[in-house]
Amino acid sequence: MQEYSPVTPIDIEQERKDILNAFKGLLRALKDRSKEDTRLIRKAFDVSLEAHKDMRRKSGEPYIYHPISVARICVEEMGLGATSIVCALLHDTVEDTHITLQDVEDLFGSKVRLIIDGLTKIPEVFDENASIQAENFRKMILTISDDFRVVLIKLADRLHNMRTLGSMRPEKQLKIASETKFLYAPLAHRLGLYSVKSELEDLSMLYCETDIYNEIARKLKNTADVRNRFIRRFMSPIKETLLHEGYIFEIKTRTKSISSIWRKMQFKDIPFEEVFDIFAIRIILETPVELEKPDCWRIYSIVTDYYQPSPERLRDWISTPRANGYESLHTTVMSPNGKWIEVQIRSKRMDEIAEKGLAAHYKYKEINNEDNKFDRWIAEIRDLLDNTEATAMDFVNDFRLNLFNDEIYIFTPKGELRVLPIGSTILDFAYDIHTDIGDKCIGAKVNNRLMPLSYQLINGDQLEIITSPKQKPNEEWLRFVVTARAKQKIKSSLNEERNIIVEDGKEILLRKFKQFNLRSTNHNISFLERYFNLSSTSELYFRIAKGKIDLAILREQEIVDGNIKLTRKDNLKKPNLVENNFEGIDTKHDTILIGDDFKGFEYHLAKCCNPIPGDIVFGFITMNDGIKIHRGNCPNAGDLLSKLAFRCIKATWKQDKLVERIAAIKIIGIDQIGLVNKLTDIISKQNNINMKSISFETTDGVFEGRIKVLVFDTEHLEQLTNKFGEVDGVQRVTRWDTEEESQF
């Protein structure tokens, strides 16, 4: 938000004094500093002041107040040191002034240059371009494994911009506030900066939902005196006992953030007056590290001597800290007036980590001689960054998966604790252990019971992963993993496998060219791409390897000097099948090309009939769930096409990409020994098809089998069903419509 207007002289001398006072306040905030630290900070201030001397913010104040304020947030609210202050003072100079990165390195060294580079936006016009915004975010995160201060300073920058957002245009306010809520608040939470996260969320709500924010703020202000009197009475006996037992402690009251109160009101569908945990009482101990746990539990005992606890509301994040390193003991007790009150018990060290997050972790890392809580998370971020094939938006979406708020605790067979997001499956756990284990995973014993890959884990589960050397990832796995690590590793494996298949297809084509005295030129390869209406050479090779391209057509072509002679028909360009004009849908003239965007509207394959390429299909515009693609012979097609034709739209399959899709088959016949083995042999060995599920039931010698397989299209499916029909005992093979689905 570095917007400014030409300077307007007011009282230049007074402004200089005010700026100098602001800088002195920054120096006072950094209490433990050396003479060298002071010299570097003063040097950075002078460089920034000179570079920004002709700039003002939208509020009208000199621009230099912004870097000073960002630096002060870094010190007071994040606990960062002299290097961070230097970088905060300089963070906009390279982007907005004549200062270059080389100038920064010459004046302050390579470390400061690295951080400033991470804080500098991509030099493009990006205000209205979501993909460029995503590139900026990825560039910032690129430096997280080299120097975490880049992200912390960026959060401080965003926090000050949000605090001063009132001077911006309304549309700009909404844009910046929405972006802050989407990415920066979750990032602050993941780094353990709870106060920063809460303020970012509240400020975002102030501009996105102004009326609701102001109403809750008014009610909090009106009830403040009543809360304070209640807290004094509630804590009086506890405080007296703690003093009597010789504890050194501090008591704080944390009022729930406005955004958190609003989320609670929405989630539980209750008014403000029924939110019982408007505030929490925090007891902070000064105690040695080795006594933290027993002392916290002793204070828990004292609190529950006076007030009855709720067993369901006990949270022990001392024994098992949260993924972002948060440690505290929480209990909810019943007060004398019949209201539940949350009491948080923690040491001074734990409180500093809770307030200052990642920065405090690095401070205590050497003291405690423990692995840093964030090292593993940073390793996961490196994995995401190593995926060079991902787009910027893919990266942002995957990165947000790592900013989960709610976690579950899962145990290995040897009792090692792993922290995963809620909704994680066995596959997520397997990839969390090691990529090779994830790739070879076929299931797991969960609490000694065999469970499938898609089983969703619950808090406290103990897992023993089962692997097979024959197992390999498939597209379906992406549907039931939630962690960014698992998604990235599966995509990487699929790309590697596809590349191997592509190379095989290339070799097959070269042999065919040699057989027909053709040269392996771009001319000949392009002919095949156009002939089969494919989008790329790799797709051509892939289909050749999968047996989906009949290269016998080469025999029919006229060959001149090793090249296929083209006709006018061969030179026709592919039609432009879809135009993204984002206008309303015309059900009479529009056609959905499945695989391409359709005017920005979402569409999905209907579960009731599982259409696959080759099926005659149509789209149906539902009331609440986008557009559903149905087979022309879907059980629901009659009603939809006859009674609701005005909501039906033409659809067809995009033919330039080969994707496996689920098809369901029903087989009926006379039961015979070994029949199931024959059918599975046809699926796996003879046709190399992945099977999703299989079930057989026999009644009075007649069996009915139901099988789900992954096929490319109706031709692929027909080849399989024809082979089933040749098995002795099989009487009928048909498509199976798997389930009913609400359409309206």
Q: Report the CATH number that the domain containing residue 106 is assigned in CATH.
A: 1.10.3210.10
Q: Which two tokens stand for residue 62?
A: 């000199």
pLDDT of residue 302: 94
Flag whether pLDDT at 394 surpasses 80.
Answer: no
CATH assignment at residue 686: 3.30.70.260
Flag whether pLDDT at 624 surpasses 50.
Answer: yes
More confident residue, 642 or 582: 642
pLDDT of residue 422: 83
> Residue 605: phi, psi to the nearest 5?
-75, 130
More confident residue, 439 or 356: 439
Q: What pTM does this model have?
A: 0.59
> Does 204 share its domain with 349?
no
Domain-embedded: residue 125: yes
pLDDT of residue 287: 92
pLDDT band per the 50, 70, 90 thresholds, residue 143 = low
Residue 524 CA to residue 519 CA, distance in Å, equals 8
Residue 318 CA to residue 16 CA, distance in Å, equals 49
Q: What is the mean pLDDT of residues 598-609?
A: 81
- What is the chain's mean pLDDT, rounded? 80
Q: Are 728 and 660 in contact (CB under 8 A)?
A: no
DSSP output for 650-707: EEEE--S----EEEEEEEEEE--TTHHHHHHHIIIIIS---EEEEEEEEETTEEEEEE
Domain-embedded: residue 332: yes
> Does 96 share its domain with 197?
yes
> Does 692 share its domain with 727?
yes
Q: Which two tokens stand for residue 488?
A: 């990235």
Q: List the catalytic residue out of 15, 95, 179, 704.
A: 95
Range of the domain at 524: 492-564
pLDDT tens digits for 47-66? 999 988 888 888 788 899 99
Q: What is the mean pLDDT of residues 12-34?
A: 87
Q: Are 742 and 606 in contact (CB under 8 A)?
A: no
pLDDT tens digits for 648-698? 788 888 766 677 788 888 888 887 787 888 888 888 777 778 878 888 888
Q: Are 412 and 432 in contact (CB under 8 A)?
A: no
> Does 131 share its domain with 14?
yes
Strands (E) in 36-93, as ranges, are: 55-57
pLDDT tens digits for 205-262? 898 888 889 999 999 999 889 888 988 999 999 999 999 999 999 998 888 899 999 8
Bridge partner list, 463: 446
Last residue of a domain, one of 609, 627, 653: 653
> Does 35 share its domain with 129?
yes
Domain-embedded: residue 440: no
DSSP output for 250-285: EEEEEEPPHHHHHHHHHHHT--GGG-TTSEEEEEEE
pLDDT of residue 265: 83
Last residue of a domain, one of 636, 653, 670: 653
DSSP output for 434-455: -HHHHHHEEEEEETTEEE-TTP
pLDDT band per the 50, 70, 90 thresholds, residue 393 = low
> Does 105 share its domain with 240?
no
Flag whether pLDDT at 314 surpasses 60.
Answer: yes
> Does 301 share its domain with 173?
no
The total of structural domains in the chain comes to 5
Q: List the catalytic residue out of 96, 105, 383, 475.
A: 96
CATH assignment at residue 333: 3.30.460.10
> Does 200 share its domain with 304?
no
Residue among 114, 121, 87 at smallest CA distance from 1: 121
Measured from the Cβ of residue 432, the count of other Cβ atoms closer than 10 Å reads 20
pLDDT of residue 286: 93
pLDDT of residue 580: 32
Domain-embedded: residue 478: no
Residue 577 CA to residue 558 CA, distance in Å, equals 30
pLDDT of residue 124: 39
**β-strands 661-670, 730-735 pairing:** antiparallel
Q: What is the mean pLDDT of residues 305-326?
A: 85
pLDDT band per the 50, 70, 90 thresholds, residue 738 = low
Percent of the chain scoring above 90 in pLDDT: 20
Element (H, E) at 732: strand 730-735
pLDDT tens digits for 420-460? 888 899 999 999 889 899 999 998 999 888 888 889 998 88
pLDDT of residue 619: 87
Residue 282: CB partners within 8 Å, gap ≥ 6?
Answer: 251, 252, 253, 254, 343, 344, 345, 346, 351
Burial label for 365, CB within 10 Å (0-12, 13-18, 19+), is middle
Residue 323 CA to residue 378 CA, distance in Å, equals 12
- Which of helix, strand or coil describes residue 336? coil
Domain-embedded: residue 706: yes
> Does 125 share its domain with 239?
no
Q: What is the mean pLDDT of residues 360-381?
A: 55
- The residue behind tokens 């964030």 is 374
> Does 610 share its domain with 694?
no
pLDDT of residue 643: 54
pLDDT tens digits for 186-213? 888 877 788 899 999 999 889 888 888 9
Look up 316 and say whether it is catalytic: no
Domain-embedded: residue 129: yes
Flag whether pLDDT at 592 surpasses 70.
Answer: yes
pLDDT of residue 654: 77
Flag whether pLDDT at 331 surpasses 90.
Answer: yes
pLDDT of residue 156: 93
Domain-embedded: residue 442: no
Q: What is the mean pLDDT of residues 83-110?
A: 90
> Does 528 share its domain with 619?
no
Q: What is the mean pLDDT of residues 261-289?
A: 86
- Cα within 13 Å of Cα(700), Cβ side: 0
Residue 712 CA to residue 545 CA, distance in Å, equals 13
pLDDT of residue 149: 81
Last residue of a domain, one of 209, 239, 270: 209
pLDDT of residue 328: 92
Look up 273 and say whether it is catalytic: no
pLDDT tens digits for 292-307? 999 999 999 999 999 9
Flag whether pLDDT at 40 surpasses 90.
Answer: yes
> Does 350 share its domain with 247?
yes
pLDDT of residue 7: 45
pLDDT of residue 367: 47
- Which of helix, strand or coil describes residue 581? coil
Domain-embedded: residue 319: yes
The letter for the amino acid at 742 is S
Residue 333 CA to residue 312 CA, distance in Å, equals 11
pLDDT of residue 90: 92
